[in-house]
Amino acid sequence: MNRLVAFLVGLVFGLGLLVSQLANPAKVLAFLDLAGAWDPSLALVMGGAVAVGMVAFTVSRRWRRSLLGEPLRWPGANRPDRPLVIGALLFGAGWGLAGFCPGPALVAAGAGHGQALLFVAAMLAGMGLFRLTRR
């Protein structure tokens, strides 16, 4: 049952990325181009996602178990550390250069976009390099 729900949630998420055009690097780069021909439409998508997430997290914060009966494990409040800051900077730079972040890149790669396939390959290489350096 959990795998079916995970598949359906992933499917809805992927469709949402396609419909909102977050899997379109040209749209994302136009959103990030504040000094040029800025396209603010993705701000509405992101704002809506943040609002829904805030409500969902606020409501579910009182729960001990998920709707499927699994225990909920909430992260503790931690201060940002050096690896988090460096990772955030690298993530932002990669997003700004390529127009992809991991979720939309997987959706676009699944749709056969060559740039996304290259991005996913680089992302996997970076993840592998991280694992090697953290050992």
Radius of gyration of the chain (CA): 17
Please provide residue 70's backbone torsions phi and psi, each rounded to the nearest 5 degrees. -80, 145
Average pLDDT (93-119) is 88
Question: Across the chain, how many H-helices and E-strands are there?
Answer: 6, 0
Q: What is the pTM of this model?
A: 0.72
End-to-end CA distance of the chain: 35
- Tracing tokens 């899997």 back to the chain, one arrives at 23
Q: What is the pLDDT of residues 120-134, one digit of tens each?
A: 999 999 899 989 988
Q: How far is CA 18 from the centre of its chain?
A: 13
Number of domains in the chain: 1
Between the alpha carbon of residue 98 and those of residues 14, 41, 56, 60, 103, the distances in Å are 19, 19, 31, 35, 13
pLDDT reading at 55 higher than 90: yes
Q: Whole-angstrom Cα distance, residue 1 to residue 18?
A: 26
Q: What is the pLDDT of residues 70-104, one digit of tens each?
A: 898 888 777 888 888 998 998 888 888 888 888 88
Length of the chain counted residue by residue: 135
Residue % of the chain over a pLDDT of 70: 100
Find the domain containing 71 and state its range.
2-134
